[in-house]
Structure 1
Amino acid sequence: MTISAKQQLTFTNSLDDNLDSIYLHIYPNTFRNRGTAPFEERELTSVYPNGFSPGWMEIHNVKVKGDVCHYKIIGTNKTILRITLNKPLNIGDTADISIEFTVKLPNANTRLGYGEETVNISNWYPILSVYDTTGWNLDPYYSIGDPFYSEMAIYKVSLAIPKDFSIAATGNIIKMDVDKDNATYWIEADIVRDFAMVLSKGFDIKEGVINDITVNSFTLGDEKKEEALQYGIDSIEIFNKLFGHYPYKQISIVACDFFLGGMEYPNLVMISKNLYEIEEDFPLEYVIAHEIAHQWWYGIVGNNEIIEPWLDEALTEYSTLMYFEEKYGDHIKEQIFEKMIKAQYENFTSIEPDKGEGILRSLREFESNLEYSSIVYSKGAMFLEELRNNMGDEAFLEGIRQYFNQYKYKNATTLDFYELMEANSEKELKPLFEEWLNIKVE
C-alpha cells in the first residue's frame, strides 16, 4: 500500500509579485501520528477499525528546470513543502518543477487510506498552495470540514497498478495497457482543481449517459446498483437544468470504505458503502445528490473552504433540496427542509445555543463536526431558503446561474456571491446577508 511517484509541475507566475519560493501542501503527513490524524476522538474507532495505522509522504528530491534546489518541509504536522527557487520567478515566467516522492497509505476508512474493499487515494500528492490577496495559504489539514483550497490545473497522469484492481478516477482514461502483472492507464483531466482515485478488486461497474455525459456507478455488493446509477443520472440532469451545464465528459459515483456519508472530488464522488446496505433508499439518494451538487459548488466554482466553508456547503445542501423539489415536488422538499434541515439546527441549538456568530466562519472557529454541520449545512440552507423567498424564485435562480457562469473555473468569495444576488434582486439584500452571515457588507 505504497505509491511511488514522480510529479512534473509546470507553474506560470500570473500573480502580481515576483516569487522567491513556491509552497505546496503535502497532506498525507497529517496521518503520521494518532495525535495529528485529522479526526475527532469519537471518530477514530470508525476510521481505524483495526487500530491506528500511520500514513505519510516522503520527498526524495526536488528540481526546478532540471537543477537541484533547496526545499524544506514545514508547517503544522509537516504538511507544507517550501521550495526555495535558485533565482526569483518573475511575473509571467514559468517554472518546471520535478518532485519525486512516495506515499504510505494508512489502513483507514477515510479520504486517504485502504479498507476491506477499496483503496481511497485523494489529497495524496504535492498540490500547489493558493496565492491570493492574503499571500500563500498554508493552512493545515483540519479535523473539521473539508480543509482544501486549490486552483484549476490540467492533469496528465500515467499510472501502473496491479491488474486485478479496477479504477475510478478524475478525468478521462485515454488508453490502457495490460502486461503479466500490471495495468497501465493514461488519464487526462482538463481544468480541474484536484485529482483523486479509488481502486478495488470488487467493483461492479454500470454506465449510463445523460446530456452527453457518461455516468459511471462503481458498487461493491448487490444492493442498489440500479438505484445508485439512476440517482447519479437524475442529479446531473437536474443540476444541468438548474445551474448550467456540467462541462466534463464523465462523473463516477464510487462506493467506498468510508466512515462518513460521502466526499467530493472533481469528476468523482466517494460514497460510503454502508449507505447501499440500508433498506431505505433516501439516505443513499440524498448523499449522491449532495456530492454531485459539489461538482458545481467546489469543483467548477471554487472557494476557500477553510475561511468560507459555507459558500460551497450551504449552496450544495440547498441544491440537494432543489434536486428533491424538481424530482418529487414541493411537498417533499418542504418535508426534508422541516424535518431534516431545520430539525438538525434546532436540535443542535437546544443543546448548544447558537452563539450568534453567523454562518460565515472559518473551520478554526468550530469546536466539533456537529456544530460545523448544524451551522454551515443546516443554518446555511435555511439562509438560502430565506434569500430565495426574499428574491423570488426567478431572480434567485438567475443569480445562481450568473454566479456559476461568472466564476466557472475560478475561486469566488462571499462578496462575489452577494454582489450577483443583489444585482438580481428588486429588494435590498444587505440586511439579510448581514443578519445571517454576521458581516458588514459594504
Structure 2
Amino acid sequence: MKISRKLRLIIIIFSVMFITISAQYVWDLRRVERVIAPYQEINNKTEYIMTIELIEEAMTIKGSEKVIYINQEEKALGNLYFHLYPNAFKTKDRVPFEEKEITRAYPNGFSSGYIEINDINEGKKPINYKIMGEGSTILRVTPSKPIEPGDKIELFMDFQVKLPNTVGRMGYGDHTVNITNWFPILAVYDERGWNLDPYYAIGDPFYSEVANYKVTTVIPTKYQLATTGNVTKIHERKENKTYEIEADLVRNFAMILSKKFDVQEAMLENTKIISYSIEGIKGREALQYGLDSLKIFNALFGNYPYDQLSIVACDFFIGGMEYPNVVMIGQQLYEMEEDFPLEYVVAHEVAHQWWYGIVGNNEVREPWLDEALTEYSTLMYFEKKYGPHIKEQIFEKMIKAQYENYVKFETDKGEGILRSLREFDSSWQYSSIVYSKGAMFIHELREEMGEEAFLRALREYFEAFKFKNASTEDFYNICQKNSRKDLNYLFNQWLNAKL
C-alpha cells in the first residue's frame, strides 16, 4: 500500500515524461487452473459472524459479532486479544497520520472516530474484558477458564463504530464511505506470543490470520457496495438494502460505499473483476488494468483463489491500499490526464492480493517482505505486458531514482531493508528503503538466481504459504532451495540479517 504518497506521485508523473508505453501486448501467458482450497483448510479457521447497520445521519456502524475460535496452539490460552483499530482515530494527537499529512487527511478539519464495546459474552454469560494498549486499541478478553489446545470458544460482542470525516483508510469523504479495519479482529499469536502493536502512522501496521466471514450488512438503498467476499443475497426495502456476504480464507473484511459508483465487470476464467469508478471516470481503464494484472499474476505466481476482485475508486489521499478481494484506489489518480499512475497503482495493489492477501506476513516486523515483492511484481507486470525495455525504464527512472534521490538528502545508515515499522522516521524513508531499495534487492536476486530458478521459487513460495503467514527466513529458504548459488551473502548484504 501507500505507493503514491506525494513524493512518490511526483516521481511517477515525472517518469511518464520518459516512458512511452506501447498499446501492443507482448506477453504470452500459460493457462492456469483454478485452485479450490480444501474443505479442511476452511473448516478449522476462526469464524466471524456479523450483523451491522450503517446509520447514515450519524455516520456510525451499529454491529454485533460472533467469534468462533479454536485454540490451535500447543498451550492453553488464558486470554484472547483483539485489535480495536478505530480507536486510533479518536484524538488528533494520536491519529495514524504523520503531522505533515493531517491537513490532507482531514480536509474539513479534525473529526473523531472510535469504537465502543457495549457488551461481550461467552455463550450466554458475561465475560471479563479490558480495553488497553496505546490509544486504547487493544481488547483483552478473559474466558471463564483457559482455552486448552483444540478447544473452541464462542464470543458475542455488541459494538458501535463512529466513522471519522477523513479521507484515509477508515472514514468518509465527498464520494465514498471507507469501512476498513473497523471491527474487533483477533490478534495473531505466534512464536513471540500475542502481537499487540498499535496503529502506526507509517506503513501498514496490520498482521492477521486468514478467517471465514459471514456478514449481514444493512445500508441505505441509495448506496452501492464494494466488498470483500461474495454477496449471496440482497433484500431490498424502501429505505435500506440488506446484503448477505460470505468470505472464506481472507485476512480481513472491508467495504466501500458510494452513491456515485459506476460499475463495470469482466470475467477471467472463474473470477469476476469489478470496477467501481466515481461517475464513470476512467472506469473502463481501471477494469482493464485489473483484468490484465490478474491474468499476469495468475501466470507468474499461481492462481487467484477467490471468486471476485474489486478495483474501487475512493476518497483516499494516500494513493492505494490493499484488502482481501478489494483494492482502494485514490480518486485523484482517476482524474489525472496521464493513465500511467492509475495503471501502476492498480497493478501494485492487485499484486498485494498475492503478497499480503494470500501469502501473509508480519507487516509490522517485516514490512519489506510483502512490499518489496509487490513493488517488483508491479515491474514484472509492465515487463510482461509491454516488454523488458519498459520495465527497465520504470526501474531506472522511478525505483532507483527514488532511492538515489533519498540518499542524496538522507544518509542510508546501512541497517538493511529488514526493519520494523517503529524503526522508520518518515514515510519518505520507509518508501525509499522498503519499496525502492527492496525492489532493487529482488531485482538483484533475480539476476543472481537466473530466470527459471527465480520464477520457480516465487511459485513454490506462493504454494507453500498460501493462506498462511511467512517470514523472511521462509522466503530465503525457498529461494536457496531453488538456486545453485549460495544466496546467504546477498540476503545479508541487502537485509542486514543473518539467515
Q: Shorter-chain-normalised TM-score: which range? A: over 0.9
Shift of 1:423: 0.4
Partner of 1:18: 76
CA contact (8 A) 1:111 1:258 kept: yes
Q: Distance in 1 between matches of 2:287 and 2:146?
A: 50
Q: What letter corresponds to residue 439 of structure 1 in structure 2?
A: A
- Which residue, out of 143, 154, 157, partners 1:85? 143
* Structure 2 residue 491 is matched with structure 1 residue 433: yes
Structure 1 match to 2:451: 393
- Counterpart Cα distance in 2 of 1:222 and 1:233: 17
Of structures 1 and 2, the one with the larger relative CO (CA 8 A, separation 6+) is 2
SS at match of 1:87: coil
Matched, 1:124 2:182: yes
The counterpart of 1:221, out of the listed 279, 285, 288, is 279
**C-alpha displacement at 1:223, in angstroms?**
2.5
Q: CA deviation at 1:66?
A: 1.8
TM-score, normalised by the number of residues in structure 1: 0.99
What are the residue-to-residue correspondences of 1:282-431 with 2, within 5 Å? 282-431=340-489
Tell me the number of residue pairs that the alignment of Structure 1 and Structure 2 aligns.
441
Q: What is the distance in 2 between the residues matched to 1:143 and 1:354?
A: 21
- Correspondence for 1:188: 246
Q: What residue number does 2:60 align with?
A: 2
Counterpart contact for 1:212–1:249, Cα < 8 Å:
yes
Q: What is the RMSD computed on CA atoms of the aligned residues?
A: 0.5
Cα distance between partner residues in 1 of 2:283 and 2:466: 32
The residue type equivalent to 1:256 in the other structure is: C
Q: How does 1:228-243 map to 2 (within 5 A)?
A: 228-243=286-301
Query: Could you tell me how far apart the structure 1 residues matched to 2:92 and 2:413 are?
Result: 31
Show the counterpart of 2:31.
none
Secondary structure of the residue that 2:74 maps to in structure 1?
coil
CA offset at residue 224 of structure 1? 1.3
Give the letter aligned to residue 421 of structure 2: L
8 A contact 2:122–2:143 mirrored in 1: yes
Of residues 119, 124, 135, the one that matches 1:61 is 119
Name the structure 2 match of 1:259: 317
Alignment partners' CA distance in 2, 1:287 and 1:67: 48
1:163 and 2:221 aligned: yes
Which TM-score applies when normalising by structure 2? 0.88
| Letter in structure 2 aligned against 1:205 | V
Alpha-carbon distance in 2 for matches of 1:440, 1:255: 42
Aligned ranges for residues 30-69 of structure 1 at < 5 Å?
30-69=88-127
For 2:359 and 2:182, how far apart are their aligned partners in 1?
22
Amino acid in structure 2 at the alignment position of 1:102: Q
For residues 159-216 of structure 1, the C-alpha deviation after alignment (integer angstroms, 9 at most, x for no partner) is 1000100000000000000111100000000110100000000000000011221000
- After the TM superposition, which residues 124-163 of structure 1 pair with which residues of structure 2 at under 5 Å, given as runs? 124-163=182-221
Q: Secondary structure at the match of 2:149?
A: coil
User: What's the offset of the Cα at 1:383?
Assistant: 0.1
Q: Secondary structure at the match of 1:180?
A: coil
CA drift of 1:222 comes to 3.7
Q: CA deviation at 1:374?
A: 0.2
Letter in 1 for 2:129: Y
- Distance between the aligned counterparts of 2:123 and 2:363, measured in 1? 32
How far apart, in 2, do the equivalents of 1:367 and 1:361 lie? Answer: 12
Gaps of 5+ in 2: 1-58
Which runs of 4 or more aligned residues in structure 1 lie more than 3 Å from their structure 2 counterparts after TM superposition? none
1:98 aligns with 2:156: yes
How far apart, in 2, do the equivalents of 1:180 and 1:320 lie? Answer: 44
* 2:167–2:316 Cα contact (<8 Å) kept: yes
Q: Deviations over 1:237-279 (max 9, x none)?
A: 0000000000000000000000111000000000000000100
In the alignment, is the contact (CA less than 8 A) between 1:172 and 1:189 conserved in 2? yes
Cα drift, residue 17 of structure 1: 1.1
Indicate which of 249, 254, 257 corresponds to 2:307.
249
SS at match of 1:251: strand
Aligned equivalents of 1:370, 1:94: Cα separation in 2: 44
Corresponding position of 1:272: 330
Contact 2:203–2:430 under 8 Å retained in 1: yes
| Deviation by residue 1:129-148 (Cα, 9 ceiling, x = unmatched) | 00000000000000000000
- The 8 Å contact of residues 211 and 237 in structure 1, kept in 2 or not, is answered as no
* 2-structure distance, mates of 1:226, 1:30: 36
SS in 2 for 1:151: coil
Whole-Å separation in 2 of the counterparts to 1:221 and 1:202: 6
* 3-state secondary structure, aligned to 2:288: helix
Secondary structure in 2 matching 1:217: strand
Cα drift, residue 353 of structure 1: 1.1
- The residue type equivalent to 1:94 in the other structure is K
